[in-house]
Structure 1
Amino acid sequence: MFETNLLLAAVGSDSLIFACAMIGALGLGAQWLAWRLQAPAIVLMALAGLAAGPLWQVIWGEPLLDPSATFGDLLRPIVSLSVAVILFEGGLILKFENLRDAGAAVRRMVFFGGPLAWFLGSLAAHYAAGLDWASAIVFAGVMVVTGPTVIMPLMRQSKLSGRPAQFLKWEGIVNDPVGALFAVAAYEIIRVASQGESTLGAGIWILIAAGIGTLLGIAFGFAMSRAFREGWTPEYLKAPLIFASIILCYALAEEVEHETGLVAVTAYGMTLANSRLADLSELRKFKEDIAVLLVSGVFVILTADLTPSIIKSALNINTLMFLIVMLFVVRPLSVWIATAGTLSRKEALLLGWIAPRGIVAVAVSGLFGTLLVDLSREGRFYFSGADQIVPLAFAMVFTTVVLHGFTIGPLARRLGLARSEKPGVLLVGANSWSIEFAKALKASKIDVIMADSNYRRLRPAREAGLDTFLGEVLSEDAEIKLDHSRFATVIALSTNDSHNALVCNQFAPEVGRHRVFQLSLSEGDDVDEKSVGSSARGRTLIRRGRTYDGLVRDQYRGWTFSRTRLTDKYTLEQYLAERPKGDIVAEIRPDGSLVLVGPSREARGGEGATIISFAPEQQPVRQTQTDTAASDNASTDTPISD
C-alpha cells in the first residue's frame, strides 16, 4: 500500500518523465505480449491504456496515467504529429502500380464504395449512435479505413486465397489515406462553418488549401528523392532526414490551413513510394521502427485519456445499434453495390462481412475527436457527440477484430474460398542447390515458393517453372505482397548464415519454431562461436556439419536429388543399405505431410512414404520394373536433373 501511495504521488505531481516512461513501457510491452501470444496487438495496446487510465481510476480514485493533465496543451500537437507520421507511412506503401494490380473491384470500392460507405456510415453514426451530424460525418469518414495491419494476419489465419485475398489486401492499403482525407475534408468544412463563415466559401478554400498541401507534399517528395539520387546526403543521415522533413512538411502545411498537414504528409509519402528509389527499403525499415513507437504511444494515450464516465456513456443501446448497422448494413451494401458484376456471389458475401478496423482508424478518430471537442469550447456550436468518437472507434476495433478474426476462417471454408490444399514451403535464397531441392519438392506435389532479392539468381527457378517472389522477405513489402497462406514451413538457404537466422526468427512466431530451418554453419559438429546463437537460429536441416559449401561442392562432383517411393517390400532399411553415402533431406509421409530430416528427426519410412535424397549419381539405382511381380519389390527412384 505504501508503494502504491508513492506511485500515485509521483503521478499526481504530473511527472512528464514518468508519464513518458509509462507510455513507452505499456505500449511496447503490449506489442511484445501480442507477439508472444500471437494476439492482435491493437487490442492489447488498448487494454493497456484502459488499465492505466480509467480502470486504475475506478480502483484507486485517480488514474495511473492522465495524459490530459500531464501534457496539457501539448497533448493535441503530440497526437497530431504522431498521426502525421502514421499517414506518411500509409502513403509510403501506396504505389500507383499497386492500384492497377488490385483489379476493377478494388478500384470501384475505393472510388465509389468509399464515398458510399462514408454516406451510409454518417447516417448510422447519427441515427443509431446518436452523434450530432458534424461528429457523425467526421467519424464515418475515418471508419472507411480498413488497414493492412489487421487484414494480413486474418488472411494468413484463414488461408484465404484468390480474388478475395487480393481485394482485402489492396483495399486496406489504398483506404488507409483515403479515409483520413475524408475526415480532414469534413472537419475543415465544419470548423469554418462553426466560426460563422460561408460554407460555400469554406468549401472552395478547403479545396485550395488541400491542393496547396498536396503540392507541398509532392514537392518534398521530389526534392528528397532527387537529393538521394544525386548523393547530396550521406547514408547515415537519410533516415533521420526523412523523419525531420515529415515534421517540417506537416508544419508548413499547417501554416496554410489547419489539418491540411495530414494531406501534405500523405502526398509526401505517396510521392516517395512512386519515385523508385533504390534505397527505399532501408527508409521503410526506419519508418517501421518509428511508426511502432508512435502507434504504441498514441493507443496508450487515447485509451488512458478516457474517463469512466465517457466509457459508461458509450456502453448503451445506441452503441450496440451502431455496431449492428455498420456490420450488417453499411459494409455489405457498400461492397455489393460498388462491386456489382465484378465479384461472384460467394466472394461478395465474404467481403461484405470482413472489414476489421485498425491503427489508422483509432489514431485519426482520436485526433478529430479532440479537435471537435476544442471547437465546441471556442466556437458557436456544441458538438454533443465529439467525446463519444474515441469510445465508438475502440468499440468498432474490438468488435471487428474479434468477430472477423473468429469467423473469417470458417466462413471462407464454408463458401469454398479458402485454400483446400495443404500449405507448402517457402525457400529463401536462390542458388543451384536450393533450386534443385525446390524442383524435387514440386515434383513430389509440394507447393513451393522460391524467394530471393536478386532477379538474376531467380532466373533458373523461373525457367524451371517454380513460383518465385522477388524481394526481401524481411521487409514490409513482403508482408503485403507475399501470400503467407501458401506456406507453413520456411527453409532459409541463402549463403549468409546470419540472414538465414533472421529469416527463421522472423517467421518462427507465424509458422512455429519447429517449422523454420537452415543449414549448419560449421563443418564440425560444434557451432562456430562467432555465429548466431543456437537459440536464435532455425532448426538444422539434414545434419550438423552439412554446410552450404559442402552441399554445393558435392553438387559439382555429380551429386543429384532423387525421389524414392517405399513399399511394403522395399523398406527404408533396404534403401539405406543401398546408399552408404548421401543424405536424406526430406520425407513425404503417406498422408502427404512433409518432414524435413535433421538431428533427432530421422526418416520414419513405411509403405507409401517418399524419400527425397541428395546422393552421388553413380550409386546403384533400382529401376522400376514393368512386370507386376517385380514392381511389388521395387522402388520408384526418380533422379531430379535439368
Structure 2
Amino acid sequence: MHGEGLTALGAIGLVGVAGVGAQWIAWRMQLPAIVLMLIVGLIFGPVLGVLNPQETIGDLSGPIISLAVAIILFEGGLTLNLRGLRDAASGVRRLIFPGAVLGWVLSVLALHYVAGLSWETSWVFGGIMIVTGPTVIAPLLRQARLARRPAALLQWEAIANDPLGALAAVLAFEIVLVARAAETAPAAIRDLVLGILLATGLGFAVGRGLAWSFRNARVPEYMKVPVIFVAVLGAFSLSDALLHESGLLTVTILGLVLANSRLASLQEVRRFKEHATVLLVSGVFILLAASFDVAALERLDWRAPLFVAVVILLVRPAAVFLSLLGTDIPQKERVLVAFTGPRGVVLMAVAGLFGERLTEAGVADGYDIIPLAFLLVAATVVIHGFSLKPLAQALGLSRAVPGLMILGANRFTLALSEALTKAEVPVILTDTNHYRLGPARQAGVETYSGDILSEAAEHRVELIRYNTLLAASDNEAHNTLVATDLAPEFGRENVWQLRRAREDSPRHALPASLGGRTPLGEKSLGELEGMMAEGWRARVTKLTEEFTFDDWRARQPEALVFAVINDDGLKILGPEDEVKSTDGTRLVALVPPDAAPAIEEEKEAEEREPLPEGSADEEEAAEQAADAEAELEDAEQEAGASDAERRA
C-alpha cells in the first residue's frame, strides 16, 4: 500500500494509532517515547511510503500541525504556576534572559562557521534554535523522574523559550527583508513591536476574561473545557494574523494567566489538556517524520553532523553555564540542564515555514535549514532521550527505585515504615498531627507534618521519590479523598487504601472511581491495629534459591504478605496477586507473635546472604517495637494534654 491509496480519514486514523501505539510500546519497553515515535513516523512515511500527509491530507497538514502546536504550548503554559518557582526562579530567569540571547548568538556562530550557512540564514535559524521543545521535554521528564528544581528549570525554559525562539526568527527575518530593501527598517521594527505587544495583550486579556467568567459562574461546568479550547484556537489564529508566529506567544501567555488564577475547576481542565497533549504530540511527531523528504538530506555534507555535535557539546553547555553564573543553582543541576537540550515539534514546524520564506526572498541556502533542522531534532531526541535518565541518576537527581508514601501515623504504619526504611526503600510517613509522627522521626523515618494535599506539601515533598501511595489514616473520608486526588499523579494501579470499616454496607459503598485498591487481605485499620497490639510486626525477608516463598509460607502460614521488593522497586500485592519466588526478591509481610521458630530459621537463611534489615534478632526487634509503641502512647498523651491546655 502507498500513501496515495489512503483517504484523508484513513491517514488521520493511521497517525493516531501509530502515535499512541508508539507511546504505549515505549512505556512497556522503558524506552524514550519521542525516539520511538520518530522511528515509527519515518517507517510509515519515507521508508514504506504508506503515509504521505501532503498527498492524503493536503493543504490542511500545515494548519493542523500549527493548531496542535498552539494547544501543546497552551497546555505547557497551564503548568507554569509562579508559586512553584520558589527555588528555581533565579535560574529560570537566567535561562530565559540572558540564556536565550546567548544561545541565539552562539547558534549563529556555529551555523555560519561550522555548518557553512550564510549570515542571513544563520540569524534566522539561530533564533529558531533557541527553543528546546516542551513536546520533547515533557515525556522525558515523565520517564526520568527528576528532582523538582532541575525539572522546573527544564520545563520552564522549554515552554518560555518556544515562543521567544519563534519571535527571534521573525525579528531576524524582518532584518533580512530590510537588508534586501523589501521594506524600510522603521516599518519593520514598528510592525514587529506592535505585533508582540498585541500578542501579549491578547493572551493576557483572554486569560483574564476566562478566569473572570469561570469564577463568576458565567460558564457552566460542562462547557468550560470546550470554551477554553475554542478560546485558545481563536486567540492563536487572531494573533497569527497580526504577526506571523506571534500566536505561540499569545497562547503561552493565556495558559500562564489561567495557571495563576487559582480557579477551583482548573485541575480537571489541566488533566484534560494533558490527555489532549499526549494525543497531539503523538500525531504531530508522526506527521512531521512521515512528511520529511529524505532526499533533502543529500544536500548536507560532513559539516552537518559536526554542527550537531558542536551544538550539543559546546553551544548548549556554554549558554547554560554562562547564563547561570552567580546563581545558587548547584553544580550538578547545572551540568544536567547544560547537557539536556532536545529540540522538537516547534523547531521543525517553524524551520519549515522560514525555510520556504527565505527561499522566496532570494536567500540561496534558505531551504537548507529544513534538513538541518530535522537532523538536529533527530539527533537531540535520540541522544537526550537515552541519556537524561542515566545522567540524572549518576548525578543523584533521580531516584532509580521509587518508594512509598504512607498517609496516617499509627502502630501499623509506624512498624511498616520502620521495616521499609531499614530495607533502604524510600518511605515518607505523613500525618496532620505533628505529635503522632514523633516515634517515626526518632526511628529515622522521613515524615511530613501537614495535609499532603496542601500547597505547602506540593513545594516541600519530592513526589518523584515515590510511585506508590498507601492511605492508612484513621480518617476514612480523608483516605478516600487523598487516594482519589493523587491517583492521576501515581497511577490508579499504584494507589492503595485500607478497607473501610463499613464499605460492605450498600449505604456506604463508593463507586470504583473513588478511593484506591485494598491490600493486606482486605484488613481494616482497626483490625490491623488490634493485630499490632497483640504482637504482630512488620518484617522484610529475602528469598533465595534455598529459601523460596513456599518455604517461607510453610513456616508462616498465618502471615499477611504486604509487598515485594525487587529490581523494579516496591510493589504492593492485592488479594489476587501472587508472589513470584525469584532469587533476590525481598518479601514484606506482617508476621504473628507466635512465629519465633520460623523467624529463627529465616534468620539462619538470611545469614547466608546477610541483609541490614534482617540482622536484628527477635528479642531486639520486640524491644524496638515495644519502645516505639511506648513512644507513640507518650506522644498521644502529650497531644491530649496539649489539647486540654488549649481548651483551658
Q: TM-score range by the shorter chain?
A: 0.7 to 0.9
Secondary structure of 1:449's match? strand
TM-score for the superposition, normalised by structure 1 = 0.73
Matched, 1:90 2:76: yes
Matched, 1:541 2:519: yes
User: Residue 309 of structure 1 aligns to which amino acid in structure 2?
Assistant: A
Q: 1:245 to 1:472 in 2, by over 3 A?
A: farther
Query: How is 1:269-308 mapped onto 2 (pairs within 5 angstroms)?
Result: 269-308=255-294
- Give 1:551 deviation, angstroms: 2.0
Counterpart CA distance in 2 for 1:354 and 1:45 is 22
Matched, 1:551 2:551: no
What is the percent sequence identity of the aligned residues? 33
Tell me if the contact between 2:127 and 2:168 (Cα under 8 Å) persists in the aligned partners.
no
Counterpart CA distance in 1 for 2:142 and 2:222 is 35
Counterpart CA distance in 2 for 1:136 and 1:196 is 19
Residue aligning to 1:178: 161
Matched, 1:128 2:127: no
Counterpart CA distance in 2 for 1:83 and 1:157 is 22
- Give 1:35 deviation, angstroms: 2.0
Counterpart CA distance in 2 for 1:82 and 1:459 is 51
Residue aligning to 1:77: 63
Secondary structure of 2:190's match? helix
Residue aligning to 1:382: 363
Q: Please, which runs of 5 or more residues in structure 1 have no aligned partner?
A: 57-62, 568-574, 617-630
- Give 1:277 deviation, angstroms: 0.9
Counterpart selection for 2:191 from 201, 205, 215: 205
Residue aligning to 1:331: 316
Query: How is 1:490-529 mapped onto 2 (pairs within 5 angstroms)?
Result: 490-491=469-470
Q: 1:181 to 1:423 in 2, by over 3 A?
A: same
Counterpart CA distance in 1 for 2:348 and 2:284 is 9
- Give 1:247 deviation, angstroms: 0.8
Q: Please, which runs of 5 or more residues in structure 2 have no aligned partner?
A: 542-551, 594-615, 633-648
TM-score for the superposition, normalised by structure 2 = 0.73
- Give 1:518 deviation, angstroms: 5.9
Q: Cα RMSD between the aligned structures?
A: 5.0
Counterpart CA distance in 2 for 1:297 and 1:336 is 35
Counterpart CA distance in 2 for 1:121 and 1:260 is 22
Matched, 1:403 2:383: yes
- Give 1:119 deviation, angstroms: 1.2
- Give 1:230 deviation, angstroms: 0.9
Counterpart CA distance in 2 for 1:72 and 1:290 is 23
- Give 1:255 deviation, angstroms: 3.2
Tell me if the contact between 1:189 and 1:199 (Cα under 8 Å) persists in the aligned partners.
no
Aligned length: 575
- Give 1:418 deviation, angstroms: 5.0
Query: How is 1:52-451 mapped onto 2 (pairs within 5 angstroms)?
Result: 52-56=44-48, 63-147=49-133, 150-151=136-137, 166-191=149-174, 193-194=176-177, 196-314=182-300, 316-342=301-327, 346-347=331-332, 350-351=335-336, 353-357=338-342, 361-376=343-358, 379-382=360-363, 384-389=365-370, 391-408=371-388, 417=396, 423=401, 425-427=403-405, 436=414, 440=418, 444=422, 446-449=425-428
Counterpart CA distance in 1 for 2:564 and 2:64 is 56
User: Residue 551 of structure 1 aligns to which amino acid in structure 2?
Assistant: L
- Give 1:269 deviation, angstroms: 0.7
User: Residue 362 of structure 2 aligns to which amino acid in structure 1?
Assistant: F
Residue aligning to 1:570: none
Question: Which moved further from structure 2: 47-56 or 394-403?
Answer: 394-403
Q: 1:566 to 1:260 in 2, by over 3 A?
A: closer
Residue aligning to 1:19: 11
Secondary structure of 2:244's match? coil
- Give 1:276 deviation, angstroms: 1.0
- Give 1:413 deviation, angstroms: 6.3
Counterpart CA distance in 2 for 1:566 and 1:209 is 64
- Give 1:139 deviation, angstroms: 3.3
Q: 1:225 to 1:615 in 2, by over 3 A?
A: farther
Secondary structure of 1:282's match? helix
Tell me if the contact between 2:73 and 2:134 (Cα under 8 Å) persists in the aligned partners.
no
Q: 1:456 to 1:307 in 2, by over 3 A?
A: same
Counterpart CA distance in 2 for 1:457 and 1:472 is 15
Tell me if the contact between 1:156 and 1:484 (Cα under 8 Å) persists in the aligned partners.
no
- Give 1:388 deviation, angstroms: 3.4
Counterpart CA distance in 2 for 1:137 and 1:30 is 35
Q: 1:144 to 1:23 in 2, by over 3 A?
A: same
Secondary structure of 1:635's match? helix
- Give 1:226 deviation, angstroms: 0.8
Secondary structure of 1:466's match? strand
- Give 1:220 deviation, angstroms: 0.6
- Give 1:584 deviation, angstroms: 6.9
Counterpart CA distance in 1 for 2:12 and 2:79 is 29
Counterpart CA distance in 1 for 2:172 and 2:142 is 40
Tell me if the contact between 1:130 and 1:318 (Cα under 8 Å) persists in the aligned partners.
yes
Residue aligning to 2:544: none
Q: 1:127 to 1:562 in 2, by over 3 A?
A: farther
Residue aligning to 1:571: none
User: Residue 39 of structure 1 aligns to which amino acid in structure 2?
Assistant: L
Q: 1:232 to 1:312 in 2, by over 3 A?
A: same
